[in-house]
């Protein structure tokens, strides 16, 4: 009991400054994305056009998500705004804990009776990542989607139709749709069918409830892309398109370069994800779990870097990257790699790069600024390579040198 209390205390002490800061921010700067969801739910209740709604000044943000997300937000419109902020922040904390428990499952298992304290320390460490802090700042859904995908893909024996949680995530926000490709290329046909069924049922349900708004989204707002979600060349867009847009002016050349690079990233990324998944099927114990988590983390990062807009707060997928690298904590080099990436994402580094760019700065400063400005996106791409090549090779070569009779047998795949 004391160990549990210690773990909870560590987590609460670490998260409290983050929560206090953003819940104590100016009203028009506080959980602005939650306000978008809440205004979407309010538009449904009063029968207003969902995709013509804008939040209050100075943000003036439009609703950019599928209609199903607005339906889920309706309960938050019937409670006071301050209560909605508190409830949403509490749910973000719960989602963070779920993500940590899945990502670091093997390390926590090895911790034994000290697992609650270890979990508290890990929650504290993950909470201070810049993308996670932004979840609290903006009131975003990134940790909810991460928790749904990790639970669906990494639970050893699911008590729900495998793929259903991914389908739910897709219905809320389209970017987890990359997992449909993952299910397809790894031969998980049942998970693919369940994900499609769940996403389709939620979408059709929203169509039945909100036919006009659904038509406006699928045949209008969705096609507007960056025009509604924000400038693609903004610093916070760490996707491939954002990096390219900050180098090349808008036009056919920029589009071709972006699509070409995105195609290359997609080809190698999905290939490495499949390789890691296949390797997990042929291994056992913690190595199998690490490989499976690595394949899922690669796909999650692809959902960010291949999207037209992959904001910094979308990079909560780094939690899964750290978990895959750390494994059960026995491999020092893997832990050092995870620690280095963790340090990188502790700070708002892209914004430091933005400060180096300007007419008053030297050419060297401007060049360095552009590199630093893209560093989170570059790190995400590097993490894909690290998991898909270095980690897989390291585990395969280590296991090949072991006596198979000494391995611990434990399921770590998507097999029901």
Q: How far apart, in whole angstroms, are the C-alpha atoms of residue 294 and residue 314?
A: 17
Q: How far apart, in whole angstroms, are the C-alpha atoms of residue 76 and residue 84?
A: 6
State the Cα–Cα distance between residues 381 and 40, nearest whole angstrom: 34
Please give the pLDDT value at position 410.
Answer: 41
Q: pLDDT grade, residue 406 (50/70/90)?
A: very low
Residue 60: which region, alpha, beta or left (left: phi > 0; alpha: psi -120 to 50)?
left
Residue 114, CB half-sphere, CA atoms under 13 Å: how many?
A: 6
Contact criterion met (CB below 8 Å) for 152 and 187: no
pLDDT at residue 225, as a whole number: 57
Q: How many CB atoms are located within 10 Å of the residue 148 CB?
A: 23
Sequence-distant (≥ 6) Cβ neighbours of residue 16 within 8 angstroms: none
* Res 388: pLDDT: 97
Question: Are 191 and 163 contacting, i.e. CB atoms less than 8 angstroms apart?
Answer: yes
Token pair 């029968």 is found at 47
Tens of pLDDT along 199-250?
A: 999 999 999 999 999 999 998 877 765 556 678 999 999 999 999 999 999 9
pLDDT of residue 400: 62
DSSP class of 83: H
Residue labelled with tokens 């791409």:
381
CA torsion angle 177 183 185 186 (round to 10): 150
Q: Whole-number mean pLDDT of the chain?
A: 92
Q: What is the pLDDT of residue 407?
A: 46
For 300-340, what is each residue's pLDDT tens digit?
A: 999 999 999 999 999 999 999 999 999 999 999 999 999 99
CB neighbours (10 Å) of residue 219?
9
- For the residues of 139-161, what is the DSSP string, one character each? T-SHHHHHHHHHHHHH-SS-SS-
The contacts of residue 305 (CB under 8 Å, 6+ apart) are 238, 239, 240, 265, 377, 380, 381, 384
Q: Quick check: 392 and 376 in contact, CB under 8 A?
A: no
| Three-state DSSP state, 248 | coil
Which of the four pLDDT bands, split at 50, 70 and 90, describes residue 413? very low
The percentage of the chain sitting over the pLDDT mark of 70, rounded to a whole number, equals: 94
Burial degree of 155 (CB within 10 A; 0-12, 13-18, 19+): middle
Q: 21-65: per-residue pLDDT in tens? A: 999 988 878 899 999 999 999 999 999 999 999 998 888 899 999
Cβ(166)–Cβ(191) below 8 Å: yes
Question: Residue 259 pLDDT > 60, yes or no?
Answer: yes
The Cα angle at residue 69 between residues 65 and 72, in degrees rounded to 5: 160
Q: Look-up: residue for tokens 């959902």?
A: 303
* Residue 363 pLDDT greater than 50, yes or no: yes
Predicted local distance difference test score (pLDDT) of residue 409: 40
Domain range annotation of the chain: 1-151, 229-402
Per-residue pLDDT band at 404 (split at 50, 70, 90): low
Residue 176 has pLDDT above 60, yes or no: yes
Question: Rounded CA gap, 236 and 242, in Å?
Answer: 8
Residue 159 makes CB contacts below 8 A (sequence gap 6+) with none
Whole-angstrom distance, CA of residue 118 vs CA of residue 30: 31
Are residues 17 and 126 in contact, defined by beta-carbon separation less than 8 angstroms? no
Number of helices (H), then strands (E), in the chain: 23, 0
Q: Is residue 148 within 8 Å of residue 161, measured between CB atoms?
A: no
């Amino acid at each position: 009991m004391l160990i549990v209390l210690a773990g909870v205390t560590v987590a609460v002490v670490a998260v409290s400054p983050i929560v206090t800061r953003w819940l104590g921010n100016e009203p028009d700067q506080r959980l602005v994305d939650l306000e978008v969801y809440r205004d979407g739910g309010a538009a449904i209740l009063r029968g207003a056009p969902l995709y013509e709604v804008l939040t209050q000044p100075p943000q003036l943000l439009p609703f950019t998500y599928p209609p199903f997300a607005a339906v889920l937000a309706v309960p938050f419109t019937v409670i006071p705004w301050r209560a909605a902020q508190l409830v949403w922040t509490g749910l973000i904390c719960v989602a963070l804990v779920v993500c940590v428990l899945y990502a670091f499952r093997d390390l926590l298992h090895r911790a034994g009776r000290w697992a609650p304290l270890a979990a508290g320390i890990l929650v504290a460490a993950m909470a201070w990542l810049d993308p996670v802090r932004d979840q609290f700042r903006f009131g975003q859904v990134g940790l909810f989607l991460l928790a749904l995908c990790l639970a669906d893909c990494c639970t050893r024996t699911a008590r729900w139709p495998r793929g259903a949680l991914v389908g739910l995530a897709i219905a809320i926000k389209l970017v987890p749709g990359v997992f449909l490709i993952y299910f397809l290329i790894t031969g998980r046909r049942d998970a693919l069918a369940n994900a499609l069924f769940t996403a389709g049922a939620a979408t059709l349900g929203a169509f039945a409830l909100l036919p006009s708004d659904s038509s406006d989204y699928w045949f209008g707002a969705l096609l507007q892309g960056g025009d509604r979600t924000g400038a693609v060349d903004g610093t916070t867009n760490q996707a491939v398109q954002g990096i390219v847009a900050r180098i090349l002016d808008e036009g056919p050349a920029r589009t071709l370069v972006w699509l070409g690079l995105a195609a290359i990233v997609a080809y190698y990324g999905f290939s490495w994800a499949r390789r890691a998944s296949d390797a997990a099927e042929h291994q056992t114990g913690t190595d199998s779990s690490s490989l499976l988590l690595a394949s899922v983390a690669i796909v999650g990062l692809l959902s960010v870097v291949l999207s037209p807009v992959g904001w910094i707060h979308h990079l909560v997928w780094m939690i899964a990257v750290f978990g895959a690298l750390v494994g059960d904590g026995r491999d020092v080099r893997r832990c050092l790699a995870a620690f280095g990436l963790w340090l990188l994402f502790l700070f708002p580094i892209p914004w430091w790069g933005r400060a180096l760019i300007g007419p008053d700065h030297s050419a060297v400063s401007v060049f360095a600024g552009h590199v630093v400005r893209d560093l989170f996106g570059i790190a995400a791409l590097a993490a894909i390579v690290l998991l898909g090549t270095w980690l897989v090779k390291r585990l395969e070569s280590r296991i090949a040198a072991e006596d198979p009779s000494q391995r611990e047998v434990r399921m770590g795949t998507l097999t029901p």
